[in-house]
């Protein structure tokens, strides 16, 4: 009996020991899992886009010193400027002195092409606070070598940006000289003279806002005004240098020399392409920087130690285009010699190569990417649809003064009429709107779309830089149908697309425009090819429009010009009706097709025609 009790007692004792051990390990495991879970929550909550310590940082709130944590985390995020980041718990938590636990994790940062993968191991220490696990804050929580007063900094040495080239190898964009203008308030003896000089620069400076900035600045604090290209500065050098307190500093940056709207710009602070080809092909042009990560003093920024370095930089690759510098300059000069905003696009019909894209102002490539009603230039497409449907150039269609469609009155420019015996040839050459509208029963949406696609309109080509191929939306009414036939309504195209229309007539078939010859060329599903009879008739009609019709401004230019004018009625920013002036055509002797568009005023024959003539005259 006694031995039994001992055995029972012994069994109970052993059982208690086993139970206590089990509870110890279970509790230990729960603590470890909870600590590891909290570490994972901290890493996941570190925001990738908060670069100021006042920003919302949930991770910092999971520490025992949120203010210090938020400050250093924002500093590291800002200074590394990572393109990507992965923070992963890499092992089980382990107990350390004082009842705390440590959780290891792996950090991997993508610091751009110069250092796409930088990895290191770090440890988070967690402590109990109010019954829950909290990250014990210390700088080493972010990197094992971080200490008080230090941060991580990404440093880059960028190679010279590669140029954008014309077809002949000339630079459309490269490094050029610039002048930064600023005002030194303490030296500004005649403010009115300074404001007048800045106004004369015509560089888009808000002079009233500049005055306020100067008044609020310290006397010895330079106030930036504007950065000018060398040629612009030289034009105003004497005026600027005559004003005390206006300062200039010479520098250099990547500039677009020609085709500015197409080439685009480069951010002077980041060195990254900000628009146009510079943005689309930033990686190729920028090359690979030499990148390193340093441990730096937070106060001075001085490097304490290099923690990682990339394999070394690589120069950018030049971007070759099909732009012909002579054609481009002729287009830009033709636009500059008149006051309206506008664009010119030019194509080589035999290849589809884009020879010029000129824009005034050169804020973007509206010559290729803009969307506008093409006006009567689109009658080339409508005439092709009629011809493909069996109408001939000599078919009598009539040309009335007005055409009434569902209560809307359409008219010809200046309300002319040609009479009942007017042929398609005469209606095209004189640009009679009512002729095409009154025969809309012969050209429905299917017929118009089929003809448009034969010219590349609406087929989706982009030429590798987001160019607009145009569009012919389904008609939503009989009025919309009528307007579409004369390039109004919801029909849209840009100068490049319309130059493509002219190029199709010149060559006999549509060739997708090409700008970047070294890039893989897109496969565009174009429309059915027009018949030879239709193409030949269109050539005759466009030539007669020059010799006998609305495009007479081109009658005496070098070569053999063929053209069609257009005047598109559009609403301006205030809802008032204005016009865009167009002329599209080609020179049969020089393998050149073009489109000229002038915004906000005028007609194709009287306004766009002379600009096209100046363009073609300059080419000789």
- Is the backbone peptide bond immediately before 361 cis, with ω within 30 degrees of 0? yes
| 241: number of Cβ within 10 Å | 12
What CATH number is given for 30-56+63-158+288-317 in this structure? 3.10.450
Q: How confident is the model at residue 15 (pLDDT cuts 50, 70, 90)?
A: very low
Structure-token pair, residue 562: 């063929």
Domain boundaries, the chain: 30-56+63-158+288-317, 164-286, 325-619
State residue 3's pLDDT score.
29
Q: How confident is the model at residue 584 (pLDDT cuts 50, 70, 90)?
A: very high
Determine whether domain 164-286 maps to CATH 2.40.110.20: no
Of the chain, the end-to-end C-alpha distance in Å amounts to 128
Tell me the pTM.
Answer: 0.79
CA-CA-CA-CA torsion sign (307, 310, 311, 314): negative
Q: How confident is the model at residue 7 (pLDDT cuts 50, 70, 90)?
A: very low
State residue 164's pLDDT score.
95
pLDDT tens across 122-136, in order? Answer: 999 999 988 899 999
Q: How many residues does the chain have?
A: 620
Given a cut of 70, whether residue 18 has pLDDT beyond it is no
User: By mean pLDDT, which of 20-34, 160-174, 372-386, 494-508 is the weakest?
Assistant: 20-34
Beta bridge partners of 35: none
Given a cut of 90, whether residue 31 has pLDDT beyond it is no
DSSP state of 530: P
* Mean pLDDT for all residues in the chain: 91
Q: Evaluate whether 42 touches 125 at the Cβ level (below 8 Å).
A: no
Q: How confident is the model at residue 541 (pLDDT cuts 50, 70, 90)?
A: very high
Q: What are all long-range contacts of 216-223, with beta carbons under 8 Å and residues at least 24 apart?
A: 217/185, 218/185, 219/185, 219/186, 220/184, 220/185, 220/186, 221/185, 222/182, 222/183, 222/184, 222/247, 223/182, 223/183, 223/184, 223/185
3 state SS of 593? strand
Q: Burial letters for 388-414: b for 16+ Cβ neighbours within 10 Å, e otherwise?
A: beebebeeebbbbeebebeeeebebbe
State residue 19's pLDDT score.
39
State residue 10's pLDDT score.
35
Given a cut of 70, whether residue 559 has pLDDT beyond it is yes
Residue among 322, 599, 256, 607 at smallest CA distance from 467:
322
Q: How confident is the model at residue 26 (pLDDT cuts 50, 70, 90)?
A: very low
3 state SS of 39? helix
Q: Evaluate whether 542 touches 585 at the Cβ level (below 8 Å).
A: yes
> What whole-number distance in Å separates Cα of residue 368 and Cα of residue 259?
12
pLDDT tens across 359-406, in order? Answer: 999 889 999 999 999 999 999 999 999 999 999 999 999 999 999 999
Shared fold status for 164-286 and 325-619: no
State residue 620's pLDDT score.
86
Given a cut of 90, whether residue 1 has pLDDT beyond it is no
Distances (CA, A) of 488 to 373, 377, 411, 568: 5, 10, 13, 7
Distances (CA, A) of 544 to 186, 484, 550, 587: 68, 24, 9, 13
Beta bridge partners of 153: 294
Q: Evaluate whether 379 touches 536 at the Cβ level (below 8 Å).
A: no
Distances (CA, A) of 298 to 66, 293, 295, 307: 18, 14, 9, 16
Residue among 345, 303, 299, 301 at smallest CA distance from 324:
345
> What whole-number distance in Å separates Cα of residue 124 and Cα of residue 141?
5
Q: Which residue has the higher pLDDT, 270 or 495?
A: 495
Angle between helices 495-507 and 532-547 (to 10 degrees): 110
State residue 173's pLDDT score.
83
State residue 334's pLDDT score.
97
Determine whether domain 325-619 maps to CATH 3.40.710.10: yes
Q: Evaluate whether 563 touches 585 at the Cβ level (below 8 Å).
A: yes
pLDDT tens across 404-461, in order? Answer: 999 999 999 889 999 999 999 999 999 999 999 999 999 999 999 999 999 999 999 9
pLDDT tens across 176-226, in order? Answer: 888 999 999 999 999 999 999 999 998 889 999 999 999 999 888 889 999
């Amino acid at each position: 009996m006694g031995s039994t009790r001992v055995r029972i007692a012994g069994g109970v004792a052993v059982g208690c020991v086993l139970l206590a051990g089990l509870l110890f390990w279970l509790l230990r495991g729960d603590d470890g899992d909870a600590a590891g879970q909290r570490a994972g929550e901290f890493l996941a909550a570190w925001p990738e886009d908060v670069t100021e310590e006042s920003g919302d940082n949930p991770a910092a709130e999971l520490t025992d010193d949120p203010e210090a944590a938020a400050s250093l985390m924002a500093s590291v995020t800002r200074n590394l400027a990572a393109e990507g980041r992965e923070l992963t718990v890499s092992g089980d938590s382990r107990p350390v002195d004082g009842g705390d636990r440590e959780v290891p994790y792996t950090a991997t940062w993508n610091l751009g092409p110069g250092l796409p993968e930088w990895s290191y191991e770090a440890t988070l220490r967690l402590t109990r606070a109010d019954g829950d696990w909290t990250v014990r804050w210390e700088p080493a929580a972010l990197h094992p070598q971080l200490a008080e007063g230090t941060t991580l900094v990404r440093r880059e040495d960028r190679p010279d940006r590669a140029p954008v080239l014309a077809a002949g190898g000339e630079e459309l964009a490269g490094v050029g000289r610039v002048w930064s203008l600023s005002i030194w308030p303490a030296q500004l003896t005649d403010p009115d003279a300074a404001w007048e000089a800045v106004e004369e620069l015509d560089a888009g400076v808000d002079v009233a806002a500049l005055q306020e900035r100067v008044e609020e600045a310290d006397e010895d604090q330079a106030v930036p005004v504007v950065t000018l290209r060398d040629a612009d500065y030289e034009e105003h050098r004497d005026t600027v240098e005559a004003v005390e307190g206006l300062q200039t500093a010479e520098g250099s940056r990547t500039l677009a020399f020609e085709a500015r709207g197409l080439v685009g710009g480069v951010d002077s602070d980041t060195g990254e392409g900000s628009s146009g080809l510079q943005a689309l092909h930033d990686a190729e042009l920028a090359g690979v920087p030499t990148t390193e990560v340093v441990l730096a003093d937070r106060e001075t920024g001085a490097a304490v130690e290099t923690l990682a370095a990339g394999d070394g930089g690589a120069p950018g690759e030049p971007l070759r285009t099909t732009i012909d510098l002579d054609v481009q300059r002729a287009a830009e000069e033709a636009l500059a010699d008149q006051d309206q905003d506008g664009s010119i696009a030019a194509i080589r019909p035999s290849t589809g190569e884009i020879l010029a894209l000129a824009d005034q102002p050169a804020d973007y490539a509206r010559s290729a990417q803009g969307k506008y009603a093409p006006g009567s230039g689109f009658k080339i497409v409508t005439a092709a649809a009629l011809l493909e449907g069996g109408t001939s150039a000599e078919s009598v269609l009539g040309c009335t003064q007005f055409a009434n469609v569902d209560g809307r009155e359409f008219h010809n420019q200046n309300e002319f009429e040609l009479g009942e015996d007017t042929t398609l040839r005469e209606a095209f050459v004189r640009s009679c709107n009512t002729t095409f509208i009154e025969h809309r029963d012969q050209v429905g949406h299917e017929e118009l779309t089929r003809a448009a696609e034969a010219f590349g309109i609406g087929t989706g080509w982009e030429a590798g830089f987001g160019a607009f191929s145009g569009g012919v939306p389904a008609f939503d009414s009989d009025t919309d149908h009528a307007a579409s036939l004369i390039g109004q309504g919801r029909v849209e195209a840009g100068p490049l697309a319309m130059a493509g229309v002219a190029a199709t007539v010149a060559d006999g078939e549509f060739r997708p425009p090409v700008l970047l010859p070294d890039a893989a060329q897109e496969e565009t599903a174009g429309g059915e090819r027009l018949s030879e009879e239709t193409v030949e008739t269109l050539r005759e009609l466009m030539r007669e429009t020059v010799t006998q019709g609305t495009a007479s401004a081109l009658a005496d230019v070098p070569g053999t010009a063929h053209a069609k004018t257009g005047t598109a009625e559009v609403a301006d920013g205030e809802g008032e009706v204005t016009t865009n002036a167009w002329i599209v055509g080609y020179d049969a002797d020089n393998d050149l097709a073009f489109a000229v568009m002038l915004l906000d005023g005028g007609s194709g024959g009287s306004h766009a025609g002379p600009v096209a003539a100046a363009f073609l005259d300059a080419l000789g």
